[in-house]
Structure 1
Amino acid sequence: MSASKGKKASILYLFATLFNKGIAFLTVPIFTRLLSTNDYGIVTTFNSWVDILTVVLSLALYMSIRTAFVDFKSDKKEFLNTVITFTLIISVGVGILTFFFSKLITGLGSVIVLFAVLQGAASALMMDYQQYLMMDLRYIQRSIYMALPNFLAVIFSVAFIYYLDLDNMYFCRIIPTMVVYLIFGLIIITKTYAKQRPSINKKYLKYGLGISLPLVLHGIALNILSQADRTMITVLANASQTGIYSLVYNFGMISAVLTTALDGVWLPWFMIKIKEKNTQEINKCASDYIKLMTCAMVGLILLGPELLKFLAAPIYWEGISIIPPIVLANYFIFMYTFYVNVEHFHKRTMGITFYTIIAAAVNIILNYIFIPKFGYIAAAYITLISYMLAMALHARRSKKLEEGLFPFIIFAGPLAIILISTTFYYLFLEEWILRWILMIIIVGAIALIERRTIKFYLGGSKG
């Protein structure tokens, strides 16, 4: 790829990724005002199952498409044909099983579960095809497939909710989204089989599964870790609580939008520097990066009540009490990715999978015990505990691989600032002026100290 084409691709991918990450947050004010807490909770539970089913149905085969472009470049279309065909076969099999056991598994109706399988299958096909477009350097088409489905789903969902009056209004969000994804899935199937019949090449399938299968459990466990709480609140408490919890959870994901954007700068640089064994420079830049993210987290916590009131109707405002643990959980996600990147560099992916499974298991067990007693409040603190455990496990593993990288001391100061901010949050929950003043002081002080870093990540300096 030429430098100019690479720059255009990077910009398009960045906007498409930010759109997909941000759309859940940007549409919160719309759907929380159009849907009841019960309807909103069912929708988020449905989305949780779609995410998990996408991993199961794809079997992470899209990861093998990357290397297939090197090993089977002349047969890349046949390789894609095998991946798409196998994904369809798996989807039919899983669809039959989940339809019959849906109530036992999810507590939701069979029809909703069938819709989740259909959307999950379409999402899996889109994951496969997007990877193919990326490796084939068709960046404009890939950006369209990344952003357009979600955009259309939101437009049609709002129209359905506004113009229809159903007993179960959650269908007005679920059905349009599922139909849009199915249309894109059918387009992909048509394009794949336009000049080739559906086929499975055993050689390509064996090659693909050899690369992807070790990552499937990690993907499933990661989705369980991030999604199981909402499903369990629906089953063990009620969907109304799920709606309140999901709103705050999506609010806390604002930080993920920022980290996604900055990772485009950080990760390629990190991979070069770790290969050069430049530990000192990595730690220095990591420290600056962490302080930058600390500003975002402190702002989210101290401005949280007012932002949530702006985003949602009053029936959701009781969720203000769990903003700090949700934001802190996202901070620990940010922290443990530093160590996961080290494990990826050393190709220790089985360890990543194992630790994610442990954290997910702890999350499920604690949720099962405490959600019936304390509802969504328990789920918020259990989410925090689970990610703290994941961070500790990955840090321990990373230290064995690269002892000098990312000493905990670089997290200690910023974490202390966030904990202090959390304390002030609860002490002055009703005194917004005091919270805002503290936020301005903390963020202003960090921004003043880190002027050079902010310029670097915003592209104003070469570093």
Structure 2
Amino acid sequence: MGKIKRLAGETVLYGFGSIVPRFLNFLLVRLHTDAFVPEEYSVITKLFAYVAVINTLFMFGMETAYFRFANKPGADEKKVFNITLTVVIAISTLLSLIIVLMAKPIAGFLDIASRPDLVIWLALIMFTDAVVAIPFARLRLQKKAIKFAFGKVFNIIIYVGLNVYFLKLMPGDTRDVGWVVLANLIANTFYIVFFARSLLSWRPLYDRQLSPETLRYAYPVMLTGLAGITNEMFSRITLENWLPENFYAGKSTEFALGIFGAAYKFAVLMNLAIQGFRYAAEPFFFSNAAEKNSPQLFARVNHYFIIVCCILLIGVSINLDILKYFLAKPAYWEGLHIVPVLLLSYLLLGVYYNFSVWFKLTDRTYYGTIITIGGAIITVVANYLLIPIAGYEGSSWAALLCYLGMTVACYVLGQKFYPIPYDIAKSVAYIVVTLLIVYGVNAIEIEDQLVATGFHALVIGIYLAGIYLLERKQFVKKRA
């Protein structure tokens, strides 16, 4: 249990550096939904969906490659750092130049033909994100979680502060999505200052043996990440085009995308926990892989991970009657019924990340590529079939089908190449019982908000007590 407690502690610290910034970013939902109507908010949703996808190309899977090769016995960490950062900077510079030179046609493609400046700003945002990815990975390897958290949190404080200034405090009509992009770019310049010492110590390096090895290891990871982020963002990119006109009576497709993007923000609450866990778990898995009991350890980690995610699932899903006020305009509330499905989708994605440890530790990263491309195919087909008949609700089910398929495939293959004794039956039971409670509670209509909130708190309290009693009993049984 000591290692799991240590992992939990590191998850809290990395989570502080990941969850707090994203939570502060989540708080901007109210500011943005107050400043922009759904049609305008859809532009932000679409632009940052494309950024998330393209960012994967900029980083080229080098974060994972850095962990893999810096953790090998006798590895020269500084050499690995220089090699991986050299690849990232070279690729990012090339892609940034292409985007800047083609800013006008790209702006036309994104339906913002009059704003090629936004395309240039987005290219610079992606460049800075990529350049600091390896320095952030080094902090994780060196277990400098506090410094990691400080960098992430201070960046988002700048970003939130600039959003408040541009959209609320600056004189004149400031209702322009460009201010959101510019705030992100200015905040990202802090990263360059924060890592100035580390970046100045970098020396371009190509090693005849190690550089090709890192590239061979990284490009399947990049393809996996690209397919994975496509799974997450595809619906936000295609919903406008695949949704039939007037599907939602009297409302545009841009309106529907804005509603969907706002609802997705609540699902990000699950992703916050997953991201914090991943930052701590990736070096944890690599550093404990050689231990004799590592399969049992990894199984226990996944078990407790699912419990935490189930608590988040029920906590958010049955309190949407309060959380909806984070959306400033009531027009956005109509999409909140899809939030539990999206939360479950992210939960399965987190389980997939746990299951995926086998192909990272056995250097079979190409399996991750195959699985995630399979998920991308499910995403495309499911969105194509479901959006015309179910709108953005169909997109939420497409995400669930995608991550369910990926999780099952990763588990089946993993048991063949790197068996880990996951307690699948218990995990499924936790998830199913949680969902039954969520939909059962949400089916009960209580008009008095105070009574409803008290009832929801009571349900969560009983739920937590049940988990405590069940897990405590199992723990005592194992010790005996």
Q: TM-score w.r.t. structure 1 length?
A: 0.81
Query: 2: CA distance between counterparts of 1:425 and 1:98?
Result: 52
Contact 1:370 1:378 in 2 (8 A): yes
Which residue of structure 1 aligns with residue 225 of structure 2? 219
Post-superposition offset of 1:401: 3.3
Can you give the 5+ residue segments of structure 1 that lack an aligned partner in the other structure? 1-5, 456-461
Question: What is residue 242 of structure 1 aligned with on the other side?
Answer: 257
Query: How much identity, in percent, do the aligned residues show?
Result: 15
Secondary structure (helix, strand or coil) at the match of 1:224 reads helix
The reply to whether residue 177 of structure 1 matches residue 178 of structure 2 is no
Q: Pick from 208, 212, 237: which aligns with 1:231?
A: 237
Pair 378,84 (structure 1): closer, same or farther in 2 beyond 3 Å: closer
Determine if the alignment matches structure 1 residue 301 to structure 2 residue 317. yes
Offset of 1:111 from its aligned partner?
3.7
Cα deviation 1:299-331 (Å, max 9, x = unaligned) = 222222331235442121111221222122123
Whole-angstrom CA distance in 1 between matches of 2:313 and 2:9: 31
Deviations 1:219-275 (A, max 9, x none): 111111111211222444533322221222121222233345566787748974994
> Of residues 337, 362, 366 in structure 2, which corresponds to 1:350?
366
Q: Name the structure 2 match of 1:459.
A: none
2:126 alignment partner, SS class: helix
Is residue 2:425 matched to residue 1:421?
no
Match of 1:47 in 2: 48
Work out whether residues 158 and 173 of structure 1, in 8 Å CA contact, stay in contact via their aligned partners in 2: no
Q: Which amino acid aligns with 1:327?
A: L
Matched, 1:329 2:345: yes
- Choose 49-58 or 420-429, whichever is displaced more: 420-429
Tell me the alpha carbon deviations over residues 79-119 of structure 1, each in whole angstroms, 9 at most, x when there is no partner.
47634641443233442575365257544444433332221
- The equivalences for 1:119-130 within 5 A come to 119-130=125-136
Please report how far the alpha carbon of residue 126 of structure 1 lies from its aligned counterpart in structure 2 after TM superposition.
1.6
The alpha-carbon distance between structure 1 residues 265 and 7, as it changes in their structure 2 partners (threshold 3 A), is: closer
Moved more, 340-349 or 65-74: 65-74
**Could you tell me how far 1:373 is from its partner in structure 2?**
4.9
Q: How does 1:354-393 map to 2 (within 5 A)?
A: 354-393=370-409
1:92 counterpart residue number: 96
Structure 1 contact 228–364 (Cα < 8 Å) conserved: yes
1:287/1:438 Cα in 2 relative to 1: closer, same or farther (>3 Å)? farther
The aligned amino acid for 1:421 is: I
By how many angstroms is 1:27 displaced?
2.7
Q: Over residues 153-184 of structure 1, what are the superposed CA-to-partner deviations in whole Å (9 max), with x where a residue is unaligned?
A: 11101110112555862112111212322464
Q: What does residue range 26-105 of structure 1 map to in structure 2 within 5 Å?
A: 26-66=27-67, 67-68=69-70, 71-73=75-77, 75=79, 79=83, 82-83=86-87, 85-96=89-100, 99=103, 101-102=105-106
Equivalent residue number for residue 210 of structure 1: 216
Q: How far apart are residue 151 of structure 1 and its match?
A: 1.8
Q: Distance in 2 between matches of 1:18 and 1:239?
A: 29
Q: Counterpart of 1:95 in structure 2: which amino acid?
A: I
Give TM-score scaled by structure 2 length. Answer: 0.79
Query: Following the alignment from structure 1 to structure 2, what is the Cα–Cα distance between the partners of residues 77 and 390?
Result: 31
State which drifts further: 314-323 or 289-298. Answer: 289-298
Which residue is equivalent to 1:201?
Answer: 206
The 1:153–1:262 alpha-carbon spacing in structure 2 relative to 1, beyond 3 Å, is closer
Distance 1:342 1:451 in 2: 30
Moved more, 44-53 or 277-286: 277-286
After superposing the two structures, state which structure 1 stretch, 415-424 or 319-328, moved more.
415-424
Aligned pair in 2 of structure 1 residues 303, 13: CA closer, same or farther (>3 Å)?
A: closer
C-alpha distance 18-201 of structure 1, shift in aligned 2 (>3 A): same
For 1:28, the aligned partner's letter is V
Q: How far does residue 277 in structure 1 lie from its aligned partner after superposition?
A: 4.1
Query: Aligned pair in 2 of structure 1 residues 96, 425: CA closer, same or farther (>3 Å)?
Result: same
1:451 equivalent to 2:452? Answer: no
Match of 1:276, SS state, is coil
Q: Specify whether residues 171 and 164 from structure 1 end up closer, same or farther in structure 2 by C-alpha distance, changes over 3 A only.
A: farther
- After TM superposition, give the deviation of residue 366 of structure 1 in Å: 2.7
Structure 2: unaligned runs, 5 residues or longer: 1-6, 244-252, 473-478
Count of aligned pairs:
453
Report the 3-state secondary structure (helix = DSSP H, G, I; strand = E; otherwise coil) of the residue aligned with 2:356: helix
